[in-house]
Amino acid sequence: MDFTKLLNKHDLKITQARISLLELIEKENKPLDSQFLIDTLKQKFKVDKVTIFRILNVLTEHGILRKLEFGEGKARYELNTEDHHHLICQSCGNIEDISDCNIEALEKEIKQKKHFLVKLHTLEFYGLCKDCQKKSN
Amino acid sequence: MDFTKLLNKHDLKITQARISLLELIEKENKPLDSQFLIDTLKQKFKVDKVTIFRILNVLTEHGILRKLEFGEGKARYELNTEDHHHLICQSCGNIEDISDCNIEALEKEIKQKKHFLVKLHTLEFYGLCKDCQKKSN
DNA sequence: TTAGGTGCAAATGATTTGCAATAAT
DNA sequence: ATTATTGCAAATCATTTGCACCTAA
């Protein structure tokens, strides 16, 4: 994905930190926390953690990233692409994507019955992944 | 609700702090954050914030409370009753309950296709409540 | 050149921990 | 009497802020 073009479109300056962060998030392809991003990017070049937090905030405000919380007391970030959700293993912590949640029907019902206008929703599943079920944890 | 009996059933001691906290959460009937609980309970009797945090943790571990996060950088807690979800107004912050989400079909599909065993899910809707739509915020 | 981006130090806010004192059973 | 619970102080963790310096456009 061409992040230079993307940042340009949003009138955001092209910097090593921004490009590298976006490339890392794209490569890992799952919701990452700030600590992972800080540790990984610091190995590649000189960056301060404050810079990472500021980048995460701007990119989220511009809708380039999506901020998620899985009850861990910290946020995670992923590329804000199509509507999708997550399968979060409570044993090993692995996170898998799923799509096609088909919540539109529910949202329509909410609009009619509650007169609440849904802008976005979060839907996360917690349980045991295939492997952890075998380990009977 | 008889919280004395409930605490007994879980082999948790009956204390003023635990009973008052549970009664407050029951009375308010929406997800409350620690600060609100601390402020409100401190007016009624002498309690330390640490005690409140510890109570929230034990009660959550015992499944009496459910811990929720709405991307505010802090947790909220509610009585862990039936499966239900929330309509969170992005303008005024009001939180309304909804039930009957009918996610079972999706969970069944996840089990078959992904071999992931769903233990629990979160589903939250963010948008504008009836009143805030009028104010065109 | 100049507004936006970054680094460093220090602040904030939510939550946790250690330990001694206290209260519930 | 025994063990869980609480209070207080101090620590920790994620995240933010202020301000001077730097750099992409």
Whether residues B29 and B48 fall in one domain: yes
pLDDT surpassing 60 at residue A136: no
Looking at the fold, whether A49 and A115 belong to one and the same domain comes out as: no
Range of the domain at B122: 85-136
E-strand stretches of chain A: 32-33, 65-69, 75-79, 85-89, 95-98, 117-128
My answer on whether A69 and A24 are in the same domain is yes
Contact status, residue B125 vs residue B87, Cβ threshold 8 Å: yes
**pLDDT at position B135, please?**
65
Residues A74 and A93 in one domain: no
Query: Which of B115, B30, B121 lies closest to A121 in space, CA to CA?
Result: B121
| Domain match, B38 and B55 both | yes
Q: Do A107 and B101 touch (CB under 8 A)?
A: no
The better pLDDT of the pair B133, B66 is held by B66
pLDDT averaged over every residue in chain A: 89
Tell me how far apart the alpha carbons of residues B73 and B56 are, in angstroms, rounded to a whole number: 17
Same domain, A73 and A27: yes
Strand D footprint nucleotides (protein C-beta < 7 Å): 4-10, 13-18, 24-25
* Domain final position from A79, A97, A121: A79
Q: What nucleotide is nearest B4 when CA is compared to C1'?
A: C24
Predicted local distance difference test score (pLDDT) of residue B137: 46
CATH at B107: 3.30.1490.190
- 3-class DSSP state for residue A43? helix
pLDDT tens digit sequence for B77-102: 999 987 788 888 777 777 888 876 77
**Structure token pair of residue B119:** 């233990």
- Smallest CA–CA distance, residue A31 to chain B, in Å, is 14
